[in-house]
Amino acid sequence: MKTLEQIVALHRDEWAARSRAQQQLEIENNEAVAKLYGLEDEVPSYVPLERVSLTNNSAFRWPSKTPEERDALFAQAAITDLVSYAVGCMFGRYSLDEPGLILGDQGSTLDDYLATIPQPTFMPDADNVIPIVDGDWFEDDIVQGFRLFLRTVFGEQHFEDNLRFVNKTLGIKNLRDYFIKTTGRGSASKFYDDHVQRYKKRPIYWLFASPRGSFNALIYMHRYTPSTVSTVLTYLREYVTKLESALQQAERVGNAQEADRLRKILVELNEYEHDTLFPKASENVGIDLDDGVKANYPLFGAALKKIAGLESASD
């Protein structure tokens, strides 16, 4: 089995060949039209590769970049797309075993998925809640899910090489930094920023996030049920319990700096539960996807990560 780096290079070369073939077709078409009207000497027929409007034509997509820069950007775009697809597989929106959309109806369940894909190569998340936190606190978090996806699709043999290629291509030190990077007073997620941009500020995956981003959990809106927020709350409480144990350990060994850091996080998370997530879970909010993301996203107020243009009327 080829490495992911080799696969991306083949993908890039295939699109380069397609782009050159399309370029030649457009040149020949221009020549034929010019000849038909007797304008061979008056109208230029040549079409620069930068004007061949194929999405994966690197020259068209990044016309001002050098060939080397285009190759790097192509690889980055390919890996970003791969991560997006992997998360889709984690939620059951897509499957490695069947092309196209699998779960795309409101209230879709894992049973619906298994009715279509009885023996999946890659099993979707069971409860439609994927935690994203700063550390290996959950077995079913998004980093573990993507690592399993890499192993499943590209094999164990090249796993470490493939993981290094992903990190290098995305410009990160480790995989978790792509999904959650804690900085200063808040946190950032390259993955979620890409997702929101990809869906033009109408995301299909919704990010429950505490005010400073110390706790995050991703859900798929098509699998949402009125009990989903309660499931998120269960993850939050489990995380708080784990951090409280870590705090006790830090205090026992005299690590004052770590203990102080954990206390601040616990204050944030307890306030998020008390002020926001528990009240919202108690509402058992129902949604209607026919109303669109713009109508449904604001129903959850401060429980979800704020996205410009999707604020509730009270924000």
Instruction: Give domain status of residue 282, yes or no.
Output: yes
User: Which of 43, 64, 85 is where one domain is finished?
Assistant: 64
Tokens of 67: 């060939």
204-261 tens-digit pLDDT: 999 999 999 999 999 999 999 999 999 999 999 999 999 999 999 999 999 999 999 9
239 and 96 housed in the same domain: yes
Tokens of 170: 């995305």
In the numeric block, the tokens 């780096």 are attached to 5
Predicted local confidence at residue 315, as pLDDT: 45
268-279 tens-digit pLDDT: 999 999 999 999
pLDDT at 184 over 70: no
Tokens of 26: 């457009």
45 and 76 housed in the same domain: no
56 and 157 housed in the same domain: no
Structural element, H or E, at residue 19? helix 4-36
144 and 208 housed in the same domain: yes
54 and 43 housed in the same domain: yes
Contact 144, 250 (CB under 8 A): no
Dump strand ranges (E) for the chain: 130-131, 181-183, 186-188, 205-209, 216-220
179 and 204 housed in the same domain: yes
99-112 tens-digit pLDDT: 999 999 999 999 99
58 and 84 housed in the same domain: no
142 and 50 housed in the same domain: no
CA pair distance 85, 98, nearest whole angstrom = 13
Contact 277, 229 (CB under 8 A): yes
Each residue of 64-94: b (16+ CB within 10 Å) or e? eeeeeebbbebbebbbbebbbebbbbbbbbb
155 and 178 housed in the same domain: yes
How many CA atoms are closer than 13 Å to the CA of 159, on its beta-carbon side? 11
74 and 215 housed in the same domain: yes
pTM beyond 0.85, yes or no: yes
Provide the number of structural domains found in the chain: 2
Q: Provide the domain limits for residue 8.
A: 1-64
194 and 260 housed in the same domain: yes
Contact 229, 281 (CB under 8 A): yes
55 and 79 housed in the same domain: no
